[in-house]
Amino acid sequence: MLVGYNLKGGCLMEKDIASYIRKHTFLVILLIFCALLLLGIGEFFLYRKTQELNKMISEGLMQIKEELKKDPYSLDEMIEEL
C-alpha cells in the first residue's frame, strides 16, 4: 500500500489539504469579522465623544454670547483672565 492513499483509492493528502484550507479560511474570516466589529465599536464610542465635545463647545460659545449681550466690553476681561 502506498503512503498517503486510503483503501478506496482517494488521496489522503488532498483531503488533509482541503480540511486545512477550510479551517484556516474560517479562522481568517472570523478574525476579519472580529476586527470589523472592534472597529465599529470604536467608531461608535468616538462618535459619542465627538458629540459630547461639540455639546460642550456649543454651551461655552452660548455662555460667551450671553455675556457679550450683557456687557460687550467684558470679552477683554475674559481674555485677560485666561
Residue 51 lies in a domain: yes
Residue 5 lies in a domain: no
Number of domains in the chain: 1
Do the Cβ atoms of 4 and 13 come closer than 8 Å? yes
Residue 63 lies in a domain: yes
Q: Kindly report, residue by residue over 38-76, the tens digit of the pLDDT.
A: 999 999 999 999 999 999 999 999 988 888 888 777 667
How far apart (Å, rounded) are the C-alpha atoms in residues 78 and 44?
36
pLDDT at 2: 46
Q: Residue 41: what residue type? A: I
Residue 69 lies in a domain: yes
Residue 7 lies in a domain: no
Name the residue with cell 476681561: 77
Residue 57 lies in a domain: yes
Residue 6 lies in a domain: no
Q: At what angle do helices 74-81 and 12-70 cross, to 10 degrees?
A: 130
Structure-derived torsion over alpha carbons of residues 28, 32, 37, 40, reported in degrees to the nearest 10: 180
pTM of the model: 0.56
Q: Which domain holds residue 24?
A: 12-81
